[in-house]
């Protein structure tokens, strides 16, 4: 009981009212900015947006202003379902404990790489899979997100689905203990070699690609296949799967093993290829976990919101919402404008009559009014 009393005392502290009004001012500013950049939103639309901001904020234990900021960014980026994207961003931030900047960058990079057209459903599936991978394998979600934001475009251009890219990235991170960005760079190099794509910035030359192809052939793994009489490159993940089986059958001193690793030219690439091929079972397990991740992000986000800290944030958010209901924005604006008008009149009188005489007139008027009253 004492704890509850302390909480109530804390909530109704005058400083909390000041904090709530400060938060409402921030919300009003964001709504004004949103209305200026989107003239299709009516007054009713803005009210619904504000109400939705508080609803989502209570669900995830964050501030309504955070939701509106995410909505504003999604709207400016051209997403038709800006509200859905905003909620998805907040869910990712809360479940994975990642920053708003990283969450939005991951969503944008994934959406563009896989041409999802801003589909909240498709993007949710990707984030659910990544969230489940990080939870099941003690991977840092922020690092995994950094890696996927960096790797996505290369993987998609080679026809590799987001689930395979995330699982391969996760398996490499787990095996090498590299950061998300480092593992993404290493994996990108491997994919470019298997896809036979030269890249001067990555140090991948045509000569190096031919050496890699020859090393694969020595293991009876071909980078090419014939379909309908047409010779073309194979799926990089299928190539890596075959390489893994052949690679793990070799003895430690087999020169074909070192020959394959040496074709990558630098130690980090060689270590990454060895880690992925040696732990292909980890990749396959993560691929299954990714598929089983449906709904995991929302569930984890709500767990975070239900924590002690999240509950206090919800309480604070509810109090701000209550103050909002008690202090209608239009009424406050009208009162401020009226007061401003009164002060303008007084300012004009003081300028015309002089300070002391004006004060005497105002004082006499007030005294006369009291007598009449």
User: Is the domain of 114 the same as that of 20?
Assistant: yes
Give the C-alpha distances (Å, rounded to integers) separating 102 from 141, 147, 191. 11, 11, 24
Classify residue 285: in a domain, yes or no.
Answer: yes
User: Is the domain of 174 the same as that of 50?
Assistant: no
User: Is the domain of 25 the same as that of 89?
Assistant: yes
**Whole-angstrom Cα distance, residue 38 to residue 78?**
11
The pLDDT-based confidence of 327 (bands split at 50, 70, 90) is very low
User: Is the domain of 301 the same as that of 283?
Assistant: no
- What pLDDT, on a 0 to 100 scale, did the predictor assign at position 338? 52
**Whole-angstrom Cα distance, residue 108 to residue 76?**
12
Classify residue 104: in a domain, yes or no.
Answer: yes
- What pLDDT, on a 0 to 100 scale, did the predictor assign at position 358? 43
Please determine, for residue 24, whether its predicted confidence score (pLDDT) is greater than 80: no
Please determine, for residue 259, whether its predicted confidence score (pLDDT) is greater than 50: yes
- What pLDDT, on a 0 to 100 scale, did the predictor assign at position 323? 41
Of 268, 292, 316, at which residue does a domain stop? 292
User: Is the domain of 20 the same as that of 110?
Assistant: yes
User: Is the domain of 206 the same as that of 261?
Assistant: yes
Better-scored residue on pLDDT, 176 or 310: 176
Residues 197-207, mean pLDDT to the nearest whole number? 90
- What pLDDT, on a 0 to 100 scale, did the predictor assign at position 308? 39
Classify residue 135: in a domain, yes or no.
Answer: no
Classify residue 65: in a domain, yes or no.
Answer: yes
User: Is the domain of 148 the same as that of 274?
Assistant: yes
User: Is the domain of 150 the same as that of 241?
Assistant: yes
Q: Which SS3 state, helix, strand or coil, does residue 307 take?
A: coil
Residues 318-337, mean pLDDT to the nearest whole number? 47
Please determine, for residue 13, whether its predicted confidence score (pLDDT) is greater than 60: no
Better-scored residue on pLDDT, 277 or 39: 277
User: Which helix (H) or strand (E) covers residue 332, if one does?
Assistant: helix 329-353
Classify residue 177: in a domain, yes or no.
Answer: yes
**Whole-angstrom Cα distance, residue 325 to residue 76?**
29
**If you average pLDDT over every residue of the chain, what do you get?**
81
Residues 211-217, mean pLDDT to the nearest whole number? 95
- What pLDDT, on a 0 to 100 scale, did the predictor assign at position 357? 46
User: Is the domain of 194 the same as that of 227?
Assistant: yes
Rg value, the chain, Cα: 30
**Whole-angstrom Cα distance, residue 283 to residue 271?**
16
- What pLDDT, on a 0 to 100 scale, did the predictor assign at position 277? 96
Classify residue 321: in a domain, yes or no.
Answer: yes
The pLDDT-based confidence of 360 (bands split at 50, 70, 90) is very low
What residue numbers bound the domain in which 254 lies?
Answer: 140-292
User: Is the domain of 344 the same as that of 258?
Assistant: no
Tokens representing 117? 């057209």
DSSP 233: E
Better-scored residue on pLDDT, 302 or 149: 149
Please determine, for residue 364, whether its predicted confidence score (pLDDT) is greater than 50: no
Better-scored residue on pLDDT, 345 or 304: 304
Domain count, the chain: 3
User: Is the domain of 185 the same as that of 237?
Assistant: yes
Classify residue 54: in a domain, yes or no.
Answer: yes
- What pLDDT, on a 0 to 100 scale, did the predictor assign at position 317? 47
pTM: 0.76
Report yes or no: 79 and 85 within 8 Å, Cβ to Cβ.
Answer: yes
The pLDDT-based confidence of 306 (bands split at 50, 70, 90) is low
User: Is the domain of 159 the same as that of 271?
Assistant: yes
């Amino acid at each position: 009981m004492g704890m509850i009393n302390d909480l109530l005392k804390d909530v109704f502290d005058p400083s909390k009212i000041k904090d709530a009004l400060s938060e409402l001012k921030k919300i009003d500013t964001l709504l004004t900015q949103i209305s200026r950049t989107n003239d299709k939103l009516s007054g009713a639309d803005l009210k619904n947006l504000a109400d939705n901001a508080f609803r989502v904020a209570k669900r995830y234990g964050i501030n309504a202003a955070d939701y509106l900021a995410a909505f504003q960014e999604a709207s400016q980026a051209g997403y038709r379902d800006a509200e859905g994207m905003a909620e998805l961003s907040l869910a990712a931030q809360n479940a994975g404990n990642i920053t708003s900047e990283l969450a939005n960058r991951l969503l944008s990079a994934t959406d563009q790489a896989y041409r999802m057209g801003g589909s909240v459903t498709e993007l949710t599936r990707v984030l659910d899979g990544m969230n489940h991978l990080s939870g099941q394998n003690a991977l840092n979600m922020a690092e995994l997100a950094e890696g996927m934001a960096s790797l996505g475009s290369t993987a998609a251009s080679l026809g590799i689905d987001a689930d395979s890219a995330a699982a391969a990235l996760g398996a490499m991170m787990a095996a090498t203990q590299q950061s998300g960005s480092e593992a993404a760079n290493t994996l990108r190099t491997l994919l470019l070699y298997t896809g036979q794509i030269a890249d001067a910035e990555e140090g991948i030359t045509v000569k190096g690609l031919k050496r890699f192809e020859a090393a694969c052939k020595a293991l009876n793994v071909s980078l090419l296949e014939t379909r309908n009489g047409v010779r073309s490159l194979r799926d990089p993940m299928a190539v890596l799967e075959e390489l893994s089986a052949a690679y793990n059958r070799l003895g430690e001193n087999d020169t074909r093993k070192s020959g394959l690793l040496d074709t990558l030219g630098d130690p980090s690439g060689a270590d990454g290829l060895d880690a992925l091929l040696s732990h292909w079972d980890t990749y396959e397990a993560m691929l299954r976990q990714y598929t089983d991740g449906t709904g995991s992000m929302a569930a984890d986000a709500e767990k975070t919101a239900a924590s002690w800290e999240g509950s206090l944030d919800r309480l604070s958010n509810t109090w701000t919402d209550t103050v909002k209901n008690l202090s209608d924005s239009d009424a406050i604006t009208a009162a401020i404008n009226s007061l401003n008008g009164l002060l303008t009149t007084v300012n004009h009188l003081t300028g015309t009559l002089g300070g002391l005489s004006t004060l005497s007139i105002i004082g006499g008027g007030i005294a006369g009014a009291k007598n009449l009253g």
